[in-house]
Amino acid sequence: MNEQTAVLGLIDIASNARGWGFSRYILGKRPFNHIPGLQFCKVLGSGLNGGFSTTPSLTKQGFFCVFDSAQNAARFEESSSILKAYQDHAKEFFLATVQPYSSRGSWSGFTLSCSDPNPPKLGPIASLTRASIRPSKAMQFWAKAKPAEDAINLASGKILIAGIGEAPYFRQATFTIWDNAQSLDQYAQQGAHLSAIKAAYGQAYFSESMFTRFRVIKAQGIWQGKHVQIP
């Protein structure tokens, strides 16, 4: 059975390749056109120091691709000239292959399908939260975002944190990997993060949003100086 499979890349562009890195934003998803099985693609920036910030990073960026099957995702990882180019121009490079088991909402009208809605009983999971923030609510949103980011930095069980987005201030996302679903739940269902979520829904901060949890098929590389290897 074919399962939708996503590949997320995080890249810190080398200092001598910043021109090439900047060109990724100009080209957008055009270099990804005509890749077999690709259903959805976003080329992303990142916050300062790779975090969730109103100040964009000059070197940290990423991409999020969704494929119609694990086979096409694997083919992309094994033979894509795009991935090779990113690696050749990177100071740090991280790649995660994940499959959704829970998702609500949409991203630019695109929704993820979940063929198996059961969370893994053991092992790491990933989470992607993204939102288009209403301009009239941006100041309120960012006031809530900072305490939530401080809380996640202190949370136990986190493996990786990345703040990414399509545009500074208004179109933001967070990608995280956790030891297990329990660790994510412990962070998400209390404290500053829970307060931020209640405010976001209660006061309609977002014009569009998507909240997805994934099984981690594999993840490897370096992000913010941290080496990650799963499995």
Question: What count of Cα atoms within 13 Å lies in the side-chain half-sphere of residue 22?
Answer: 6
**Gap between the Cα atoms of 216 and 161, Å rounded:** 14
Task: Dig out the tokens for 3 from the structure.
Answer: 């399962």
Q: Nearest-CA neighbor of 163 among 171, 107, 200, 199?
A: 171
Return per-residue pLDDT of the chain as tens, 231 residues.
Answer: 579 999 999 999 999 999 999 999 999 999 999 999 999 999 999 987 767 667 789 999 999 999 999 999 999 999 999 999 999 999 999 999 999 999 999 999 999 999 777 878 888 999 999 989 898 888 887 776 677 677 777 788 999 999 999 987 788 899 999 999 999 988 877 655 556 566 656 667 889 999 999 999 999 999 999 999 999
Q: What pLDDT is recorded for position 194?
A: 58
Question: Please, which residues bridge with residue 221 across strands?
Answer: 94, 228
Would you say 63 and 9 are in contact if contact means Cβ atoms under 8 Å apart? yes
Amino acid at 77: E
Give the DSSP per-residue string, 131-164: EEE-GGGHHHHHHHHHHHHHHHHH-TTEEEEEEE
Strand (E) positions, the chain? 5-13, 38-47, 56-67, 90-105, 125-133, 158-167, 171-178, 206-223, 226-230
Query: C-alpha distances in angstroms, 98 versus 6, 48, 108?
Result: 5, 25, 20
Q: What pLDDT is recorded for position 187?
A: 83
Q: What pLDDT is recorded for position 189?
A: 73
3-class DSSP assignment, residue 199:
helix
Q: What pLDDT is recorded for position 121?
A: 81
Q: What pLDDT is recorded for position 93?
A: 98
User: Packing angle between helix 191-202 and helix 181-188, nearest 10 degrees?
Assistant: 70
Give the DSSP per-residue string, 62-94: EEEEEESSHHHHHHHHHH-HHHHHHHHTEEEEE
**Gap between the Cα atoms of 172 and 107, Å rounded:** 11
Would you say 122 and 230 are in contact if contact means Cβ atoms under 8 Å apart? no
Would you say 47 and 57 are in contact if contact means Cβ atoms under 8 Å apart? yes
Cβ-based burial of 101 (10 A; exposed 0-12, middle 13-18, buried ≥19): buried
